[in-house]
Amino acid sequence: MALSRIWVLAEASDGKVGTTTLELITKARELADTVEAVYSGADADAIAGELGAHGATKVYATGDLGGALVGVPVAAAIAAQIEGGNAPDAILFGTSYDGRDVSGRLSVKLDRTVISNNVDLEVDGDALVCTGQIFGGATDVKTKFTGTGPHLALVRPKSFAAEPSGGGAAAVETIAVPDTGAAGTARITNRFVEEREGPSLEDAAVVVSGGRGLGEAEKYALVEELAKLLGAAPGASRAIVDAGWVPYSYQVGQTGKVVKPAVYIAAGISGATQHMVGMKGSKNIIAINKDAEAPIFSVSDLGVVGDVHKVLPALIEALKARG
């Protein structure tokens, strides 16, 4: 039994559709007869091909929002469609900054619950059933929507593989953004991109992350050097992001990025549930920590009980010696 129609909130930057969006569209094909996207950038035509190639037949586009934060106007535009009779059975959002904003605002507009942190989805009758994980990923909880639709679900990145469907470009249909009054007054006045070298955390085949065990901010240079030698992306635990050693964009975990690289190296990270949620899907995990009881060793394939200040420099030298 499949649902009739699912919408996916599409996110894109520089004309390229976000990976999570493509993952959700791919999964939605399995769950519903028709998959459509909702998009709030000015370049819907530019991404319609990629959305269509993954299975979305239509993209509802609000057009340029004039610098408004997307939550309020996009939720209002979706709610107006639904109130006008154009209602899907479910709407899927990636767990992103804007995904959370739009789903939260929309849940109030529609007075419908939104279920967060999902890693799997299925259909039971005419209801969406979500699988979420609690206790740092140790326990799976399946929750079924019981109210009338649309069912709103936030899904974590990398829960599904994105696969092309071979479909043609999605048809672009413009939808109106109603007047949002005082609530819609938040405006973006400037954008700042933090320069990063090497591959992005989400796409890297190898990730090297550092944690509090490094002892001081300056020692993060060891992580960066090792990452560079391995062509890896440098990452971090929440502890050292909160401490201001590295920018938030480096954070791997529940509140940061979800990564599933071929190799994940955790240096001086104890393995708080907050962190494990973001990395335990990695294919191979190497952990270096001085505390033999650290939870990180319960998920590592190769665990070194030792001092990162000795192991990392020795490893860096050995890799350099190989040329």
Partner 1 sequence: MNVVVCVKQIPDPAEPGALDPTTKTLKRDGKLILDESDSYGVEMALQLVDTAGGGEVTLVSMAPNSEVGGLRTALAMGAAKAILVSDPALAGTDALGTAKVLANAVKRVEGADLILTATESSDGYTGTVPEQLAGLLDLPSITFAKHIEIADGTVKVQRQTEAGYDDVECPLPAVVSVTAGVVEPRYPSFKGIMAAKSKPVDEVTAADLGLDGSQVGWSGANQEIVNIEAAPAREAGEVFEDDGTAFEKIVSYLENLKVI
* Contact positions with partner 1 (CB under 8 A) in 137-196: 137-147, 154, 181-194
b/e code 3-23 from CB counts within 10 Å (16+ = b): bebbbbbbbbeeeebbbbbbb
Q: CB of residue 127 vs partner 1: minimum separation in angstroms?
A: 9
> Among the candidate windows 55-63, 80-88, 212-220, 283-291, which touches partner 1 by CB under 8 A?
283-291
User: What angle do the packed helices 71-83 and 97-110 form, to 10 degrees?
Assistant: 40
Q: CB of residue 169 vs partner 1: minimum separation in angstroms?
A: 25
Q: According to the binding rule CB under 8 A, does residue 306 interact with partner 1?
A: yes
Quickly count: other Cβ atoms within 10 Å of residue 266's Cβ.
Answer: 32
Residues 204-233 that bind partner 1 (CB under 8 A): 205-206, 230
Q: According to the binding rule CB under 8 A, does residue 197 interact with partner 1?
A: no
Region class of 181: left (phi > 0), else alpha (psi between -120 and 50), else beta: left
Give the SS3 label for residue 297.
helix
Q: CB of residue 166 vs partner 1: minimum separation in angstroms?
A: 29
Q: CB of residue 175 vs partner 1: minimum separation in angstroms?
A: 19
Interacting residue with partner 1 among 39, 60, 160, 297 (CB under 8 A) = 297
Of 221 and 310, nearer to partner 1 (C-beta) is 310
**DSSP assignment letter at 257:** B
> Among the candidate windows 28-36, 130-138, 169-177, 212-220, which touches partner 1 by CB under 8 A?
130-138
Report whether 170 contacts 7 (CB < 8 A): no
Interacting residue with partner 1 among 34, 62, 209, 300 (CB under 8 A) = 300
Of 63 and 248, nearer to partner 1 (C-beta) is 248
Report whether 3 contacts 33 (CB < 8 A): yes
Q: CB of residue 122 vs partner 1: minimum separation in angstroms?
A: 10
Residues 262-281 that bind partner 1 (CB under 8 A): 262-263, 274, 280
Distance from the Cα of residue 222 to its chain's centroid: 27
* Sequence-separated (6 or more) residues with CB below 8 Å from residue 65: 40, 73, 74, 177
Residues 64-103 that bind partner 1 (CB under 8 A): 69, 71-72, 75, 95-97, 100-101, 103
Of 35 and 123, nearer to partner 1 (C-beta) is 123
Interacting residue with partner 1 among 203, 284, 291, 320 (CB under 8 A) = 284
- The whole-angstrom separation of Cα 301 and Cα 310 is 20
Interacting residue with partner 1 among 86, 167, 305, 309 (CB under 8 A) = 305
User: What angle do the packed helices 44-53 and 19-31 form, to 10 degrees?
Assistant: 50
Region class of 67: left (phi > 0), else alpha (psi between -120 and 50), else beta: left
Q: Phi, psi (5° rounding) for residue 14?
A: 50, 40
Q: CB of residue 173 vs partner 1: minimum separation in angstroms?
A: 25
Q: CB of residue 176 vs partner 1: minimum separation in angstroms?
A: 19
- The whole-angstrom separation of Cα 242 and Cα 267 is 17
Tokens for 195, please give them. 């320069």
Residues 18-57 that bind partner 1 (CB under 8 A): none
**DSSP assignment letter at 181:** G
Of 15 and 310, nearer to partner 1 (C-beta) is 310
Interacting residue with partner 1 among 30, 46, 109, 165 (CB under 8 A) = 109
Please give the size of the binding site for partner 1, defined by CB under 8 A. 94
- The whole-angstrom separation of Cα 298 and Cα 304 is 12
Q: CB of residue 108 vs partner 1: minimum separation in angstroms?
A: 3
